[in-house]
């Protein structure tokens, strides 16, 4: 237990350092956490040996995975149903192009330029086709775009993009068996009854039992996550859909979402982003930089050439088009998941896995930094600020039960 607390202290110290650096540099905290993870892992590995930072400890991987699940749920909860209905054409077209352009482009690059086998090339296409919901949502949250129809459109397109990635990974590599059908069936029933049960539990116990809705949602997310892993899928997919289904009720209770966000951003996601950075092997990158640069360029260039003209059909202002395109060019969660799936199942070698993961992580950092520094559509944030006339208190009121204990509404 002493070792676990010591490791957690080191990681939370890195999280605090990342927050301070992000504040001074004025860039996304998620990106700073990734970069700090890279540097910390390299430094600790140099003096104390590989994995001395504890990136592969089971409890730490669980916390990091939990952060990805809850962050993905929150991203889904930001997608207001009314906004999604009005932008269904945009998110569908942009999301599908955002998937197919890099999937085909990167698979061809790996096959014909790098000389990888067919299976390895297809996995590279899948891993590099993603858009990072975790990074995009974190950036939308920090910038304030999550409150705008522009930001909600980006998040919707991310969902369609990553949904294509998950489906293609399953079609190409995952065996379809009875577990797959059990997972689909249980998820379908759960999503159908989730709004009613959540509303019922909240109305009956939300004002007298501490944090009942938070406990209920965590129960649902972890249960569906366990079922997803059992079936060979990933926990973030049902979490995102659950967030979308509960988006309507979440929009009506901003205080609950704020508290849930504090738990996620304040404790869980730093472990996820720091760990993502700690998996980067600097010696491997130095030994063969051409492969990394080729994969990274293939992902970003194919995204840009595929998406920029299409996004121009929906957004006319230059900064909006470039910001939208570059945010859709990021990758992290599903990209690393796909690469790890390929390595765990013997589809790619450890060296190929390292290059894929590093290219995915680099695509989370470079396009987002360029977008935030050069193409931030600040005029949309100005419109949001002036249009919001109803202010909210900095601290939400806490309801108490009959015994005086506090809880969430």
* pLDDT tens digits for range 4-19: 899 899 999 999 999 9
Q: Provide the pLDDT confidence category of residue 395 given band limits of 50, 70 and 90.
A: very low
Over pLDDT 70: what percentage of the chain? 89
Compute the half-sphere exposure of residue 71: CA atoms within 13 Å on the CB side of its CA: 29
Higher-confidence position of 382 and 39? 39
Q: Is the pLDDT of residue 288 over 70?
A: yes
Q: Is the pLDDT of residue 386 over 70?
A: no
What is residue 146's predicted lDDT score, i.e. its pLDDT?
A: 82
How far apart, in whole angstroms, are the C-alpha atoms of residue 216 and residue 205? Answer: 11
232-235's contacts with Cβ under 8 Å and 24+ in sequence apart are: 232/174, 232/175, 232/179, 232/180, 233/166, 233/170, 233/174, 233/180, 233/183, 234/166, 234/334, 234/337, 235/65, 235/68, 235/69
3-18 burial, b if ≥16 CB within 10 A, otherwise e?
eeeebbebbeebbeeb
What is residue 385's predicted lDDT score, i.e. its pLDDT?
A: 53
- Helix, strand or coil for residue 406? strand
- Helix, strand or coil for residue 404? coil
In the block, tokens 């379908």 appear at 188
Strongest mean pLDDT among 69-73, 140-144, 310-314, 400-404: 310-314
Q: Provide the pLDDT confidence category of residue 357 given band limits of 50, 70 and 90.
A: confident
Q: What is the mean pLDDT of residues 38-64?
A: 86
Residue ranges of alpha helices (H) inside 269-349 are 269-278, 282-287, 289-311, 318-328, 333-344
Strongest mean pLDDT among 81-95, 217-231, 330-344, 350-364: 217-231
Residue ranges of alpha helices (H) inside 128-211 are 133-143, 149-172, 178-205
Higher-confidence position of 247 and 263? 263
Crossing angle for the helix pair 350-374 and 318-328, nearest 10 degrees?
160
Over pLDDT 90: what percentage of the chain? 32
Q: Provide the pLDDT confidence category of residue 264 given band limits of 50, 70 and 90.
A: confident
Q: Is the pLDDT of residue 230 over 80?
A: yes
First to last CA, the chain: 34
How far apart, in whole angstroms, are the C-alpha atoms of residue 320 and residue 324? Answer: 6
Q: What is the mean pLDDT of residues 44-56?
A: 82
Higher-confidence position of 187 and 391? 187
Paired with 407 in beta bridges are: 399
Tell me the per-residue pLDDT of 337-346, one tens digit each, with 9 for 90 and over.
788 788 877 8
Q: Provide the pLDDT confidence category of residue 384 given band limits of 50, 70 and 90.
A: low
Query: Are 187 and 241 in contact, with CB atoms under 8 Å apart?
Result: yes
Strongest mean pLDDT among 78-92, 123-137, 173-187, 311-325: 311-325
Q: Provide the pLDDT confidence category of residue 227 given band limits of 50, 70 and 90.
A: very high
175-184's contacts with Cβ under 8 Å and 24+ in sequence apart are: 175/232, 179/230, 179/231, 179/232, 180/231, 180/232, 180/233, 182/227, 182/231, 183/227, 183/228, 183/230, 183/231, 183/233
Q: Which DSSP letter does residue 145 get?
A: G
Strongest mean pLDDT among 115-124, 175-184, 227-236: 115-124
Structure-block tokens of residue 379:
């005029």
Q: Provide the pLDDT confidence category of residue 401 given band limits of 50, 70 and 90.
A: very low
What is residue 244's predicted lDDT score, i.e. its pLDDT?
A: 80
Neighbours of 42 (CB within 10 A): 16
What is residue 322's predicted lDDT score, i.e. its pLDDT?
A: 95
Structure-block tokens of residue 73:
């749920």
195-212 burial, b if ≥16 CB within 10 A, otherwise e?
eeebeebbeebbeeebbb
What is residue 80's predicted lDDT score, i.e. its pLDDT?
A: 67
What is residue 202's predicted lDDT score, i.e. its pLDDT?
A: 82
Query: Are 172 and 111 in contact, with CB atoms under 8 Å apart?
Result: no
What is residue 404's predicted lDDT score, i.e. its pLDDT?
A: 38
Q: Is the pLDDT of residue 394 over 60?
A: no
The number of angstroms, rounded, from the C-alpha of 204 to the middle of its chain's C-alpha atoms is: 33
Q: Is the pLDDT of residue 387 over 60?
A: no
Q: What is the mean pLDDT of residues 402-407?
A: 36
Q: Is 119 exposed, middle or buried (0-12, 13-18, 19+ CB in 10 A)?
A: middle
Tell me the CATH architecture of domain 59-384: Up-down Bundle (1.20)
Query: Are 407 and 399 in contact, with CB atoms under 8 Å apart?
Result: yes
What is residue 285's predicted lDDT score, i.e. its pLDDT?
A: 72
How far apart, in whole angstroms, are the C-alpha atoms of residue 64 and residue 273? Answer: 8
> How far is residue 53 from each of residues 59, 168, 226, 279, 344, measured CA to CA in Å?
13, 34, 27, 10, 22
Higher-confidence position of 318 and 159? 318
Q: What is the mean pLDDT of residues 283-292?
A: 81
Compute the half-sphere exposure of residue 195: CA atoms within 13 Å on the CB side of its CA: 12
């Amino acid at each position: 237990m002493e070792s676990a607390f010591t490791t957690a202290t080191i990681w939370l110290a890195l999280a605090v350092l990342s927050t301070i650096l992000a504040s001074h540099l004025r860039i996304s905290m998620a990106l700073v956490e990734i970069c700090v993870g890279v540097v910390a892992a390299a430094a600790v590995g140099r003096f104390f040996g590989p994995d001395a930072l504890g990136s592969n400890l089971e409890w730490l991987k669980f916390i990091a995975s939990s952060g990805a699940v809850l962050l993905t749920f929150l991203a889904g909860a930001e997608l207001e149903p009314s906004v999604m209905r009005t932008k269904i054409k945009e998110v569908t077209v942009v999301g599908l192009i955002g998937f197919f352009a890099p999937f085909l482009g990167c698979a061809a690059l790996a096959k014909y330029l790098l000389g990888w086998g067919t299976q390895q090339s297809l996995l590279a296409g899948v891993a590099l086709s993603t858009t990072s919901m975790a990074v995009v949502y974190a950036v939308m949250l920090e910038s304030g775009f999550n409150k705008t129809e522009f930001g909600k459109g980006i998040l919707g397109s991310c969902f369609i993009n990553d949904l294509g990635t998950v489906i293609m990974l399953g079609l190409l590599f995952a065996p379809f068996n009875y577990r797959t059908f059990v997972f689909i069936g249980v998820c379908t029933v759960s999503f159908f009854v989730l709004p009613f049960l959540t509303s019922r539990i909240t109305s009956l116990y939300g004002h007298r039992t501490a944090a009942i809705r938070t406990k209920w949602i965590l129960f649902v997310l972890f249960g569906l996550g366990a079922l997803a892993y059992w079936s060979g899928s990933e926990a973030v997919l049902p979490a995102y859909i659950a967030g979308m289904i509960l988006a309507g009720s979440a929009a009506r209770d901003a205080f609950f979402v704020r508290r849930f966000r504090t738990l996620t951003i304040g404790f869980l996601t730093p472990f996820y982003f720091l760990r993502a950075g700690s998996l980067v092997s600097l010696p491997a990158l130095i030994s063969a930089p051409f492969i990394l640069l080729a994969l990274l360029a293939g992902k970003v260039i194919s995204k840009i050439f595929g998406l920029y003209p299409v996004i121009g059909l929906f957004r006319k202002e230059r900064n909006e088009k470039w910001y939208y395109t570059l945010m859709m060019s990021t990758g992290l969660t599903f990209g690393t998941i796909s690469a790890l799936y390929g390595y765990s199942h013997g589809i790619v070698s450890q060296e190929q896995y390292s290059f894929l993961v590093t290219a995915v992580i680099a695509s989370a950092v470079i396009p987002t930094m360029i977008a935030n520094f050069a193409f931030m559509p600040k005029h949309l944030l100005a419109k949001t600020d002036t249009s919001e006339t109803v202010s909210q208190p900095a601290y939400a009121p806490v309801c108490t039960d009959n015994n005086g204990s506090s809880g969430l509404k």
